[in-house]
């Protein structure tokens, strides 16, 4: 075991913080440390807390951590705010609030905002969760803002997901994104010191009565006063979630699934589909339950792009911004359809070397994309008739 890994196992908080930073930066040495620690994982209870901004998620996490510490349990808190690049400051607020725990080596706290792609954030988060598990933390709590598919993806790392609602949402409970509702194992109706908590609970019951099988727990809380925290913790700790109809997930399984693609070998990063109308295509995929995680226009390629996460990979819809563009020409020649398949590989240069040796037709030298990733295209003639893109996540 390397010395960093050993220190982490000995409970050295600074070593853990250093490894966590390395993992956020995709530092190969930190990823190696994680591999060395692998055998110790699989014991943590991983709880996801999600809900709209201002619902009191951070206050709840803080109260849960305090309760766990009083039971002698160790805790890691990962606060992830994909919206902070828009709203600013939210994370700083959390940091200040969490300072009461800073002297306590039994609590590890890390706040993260998105830098670049949310897909990258989801992967870094998966590895951080795993690091905390392997470091021996009893509980790993992931706080995310529940606004879209990306957060659903991050929440997917958790064994138990708490969706935080507040009174005053009124009829909006019905309107809450279906995807968010479906991931809930527990509903926390926070701010139940304010009028309307009972109504939210009734609406939840009404809504859940229409769905088959699953009956997530519903807990009313007042995070600022510590009310309902013991009940919430009990709901999160329930050893057997099968009572709610949902099979119990194991930390080990989850972790392996979340990171093995990057460590062990290739995985489908995305499928690129050329379409005439992004709006129509997005509407179709939304109708089957996907959601747009990211949109952009790539001027250099003259293309509008919408990315829709699907499991560990994504669907990339491509609409030409001008007829005279690679996608425009593709549409003209072949019509709408699968344009390319992108595989994520652990070592792009090694893959390129092997492809060259086998005589495959590469369409470009490995290049760096806007997200810092390396990519190369392989001609369909070499790849079974499909244009193939190989991608390596940024290593530096």
Q: Which residues bind ligand GDP (CB under 6 A)?
A: 53-59, 190-191, 193-194, 222-224
Q: Using CB under 5 A as the criterion, what x/- string covers residues 6-45 for binding Mg ion?
A: ----------------------------------------
Q: Whole-angstrom Cα distance, residue 57 to residue 38?
A: 30
Asked if 58 interacts with Mg ion (CB under 5 A), we say yes
Q: Choose from Mg ion, ligand GDP, none: what does 190 bind? Cβ within 5-8 Å by kind.
A: ligand GDP
Which is nearer to Mg ion, 57 or 110 (by Cβ)? Answer: 57
Residue 144 CB, shortest distance to ligand GDP, in Å, is 10
* Residue 50 near Mg ion by CB under 5 A: no
Helix H or strand E segment including 32? helix 28-37
Q: Three-class SS of residue 138?
A: coil
- Segment interacting with Mg ion (CB under 5 A) among 56-64, 108-116, 235-243, 253-261: 56-64
Instruction: Give the containing element (helix H, strand E) for 46.
Output: strand 45-51
83 burial type by CB count under 10 A (0-12 exposed, 13-18 middle, 19+ buried): middle
Q: Angle 351-23-101 (CA atoms, 0-180°, nearest 5)?
A: 170
Residue whose CB is less far from ligand GDP, 58 or 74: 58
The one of ligand GDP, Mg ion, none whose footprint includes residue 48, by CB under 5 to 8 A per kind, is none
Task: Tell me whether residue 167 or residue 272 sits nearer to ligand GDP (CB atom).
Answer: 167
Give the residue carrying structure tokens 């990063």: 269
* Shortest Å distance, C-beta 185 to Mg ion: 20
96 sits in which H/E element:
helix 90-97
Q: Which of residues 350-389 bind Mg ion (CB under 5 A)?
A: none
Which of residues 28 and 93 has its CB atom nearest to ligand GDP in the complex? 93
Cα(347)–Cα(349) distance, integer angstroms: 6
Token pair, residue 104, equals 């306590």
**Cβ(302)–Cβ(112) below 8 Å:** no
Neighbour-count burial of 6, counting CB atoms closer than 10 A to its CB (0-12 exposed, 13-18 middle, 19+ buried): middle
Spatial CA neighbour of 358 closest among 381, 392, 386: 381
List helix spans (H) across 274-344.
278-287, 326-334
Choosing among ligand GDP, Mg ion, none, which partner's interface includes residue 223 (Cβ < 5 to 8 Å by kind)? ligand GDP
The interface with Mg ion within residues 250-309 (CB under 5 A) comprises none
Query: Shortest Cβ contact with Mg ion: which residue?
Result: 58
Nearer to ligand GDP by Cβ, of 75 and 342: the residue is 75
Contacts of 96 (CB under 8 A, 6+ apart): none
Closest distance between Mg ion and the C-beta of residue 108, in Å?
17
Whichever of 30 and 77 has its CB closer to ligand GDP, that residue is 77
Q: Quick one: 61 or 343, whose CB is closer to ligand GDP?
A: 61
Verify binding: residue 325, Mg ion, rule CB under 5 A. Answer: no
Residue ranges binding Mg ion (CB under 5 A): 57-58
């Amino acid at each position: 075991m390397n010395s960093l890994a050993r220190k982490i196992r000995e409970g050295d908080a600074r070593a853990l913080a250093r490894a966590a930073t390395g993992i956020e930066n995709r530092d190969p040495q930190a990823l190696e440390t994680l591999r060395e620690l692998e055998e110790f994982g699989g014991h943590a209870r991983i709880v996801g807390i999600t809900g709209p901004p201002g619902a009191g998620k951070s206050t709840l996490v803080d109260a849960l951590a305090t309760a766990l510490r009083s039971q002698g349990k160790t805790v890691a808190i990962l606060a992830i705010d994909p919206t902070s690049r828009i709203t600013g400051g939210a994370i700083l607020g959390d940091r200040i609030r969490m300072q009461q725990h800073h002297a306590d080596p039994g609590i590890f706290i890390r706040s993260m905002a998105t830098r670049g792609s949310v897909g990258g954030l989801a992967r870094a988060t998966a590895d951080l969760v795993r690091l905390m598990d392997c470091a021996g933390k009893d509980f790993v709590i992931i706080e995310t803002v529940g606004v879209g598919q990306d957060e659903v993806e991050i929440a997917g790392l958790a064994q138990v997901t708490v969706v935080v609602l507040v009174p005053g949402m009124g009829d909006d409970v019905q309107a809450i994104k279906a995807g968010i509702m479906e991931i809930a194992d527990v509903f926390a109706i926070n701010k139940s010191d304010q009028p309307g908590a009972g109504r939210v609970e009734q609406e939840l019951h009404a809504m859940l009565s229409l769905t088959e099988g699953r009956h997530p727990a519903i807990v009313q809380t007042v995070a600022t006063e510590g009310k309902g925290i013991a009940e919430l913790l009990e709901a999160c700790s329930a050893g057997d979630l099968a009572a709610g109809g949902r099979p119990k997930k194991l930390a080990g399984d989850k972790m392996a699934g979340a990171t093995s693609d990057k460590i062990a070998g290739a995985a489908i990063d995305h499928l690129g589909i050329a379409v005439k109308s992004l709006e129509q295509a997005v509407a179709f995929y939304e109708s089957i339950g996907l959601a747009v995680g990211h949109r952009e226009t790539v001027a250099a390629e003259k293309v509008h792009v919408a990315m829709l996460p699907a499991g560990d990979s994504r669907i990339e819809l491509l609409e030409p911004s001008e007829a005279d563009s690679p996608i425009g020409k593709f549409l003209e020649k072949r019509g709408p359809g699968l344009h390319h398949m992108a595989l994520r590989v652990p070592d792009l240069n090694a893959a390129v070397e092997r492809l060259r040796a086998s005589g495959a037709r590469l369409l470009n030298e490995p290049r760096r994309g806007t997200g810092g990733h390396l990519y190369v295209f392989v001609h369909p003639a070499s790849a079974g008739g499909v244009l193939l893109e190989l991608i390596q996540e940024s290593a530096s």
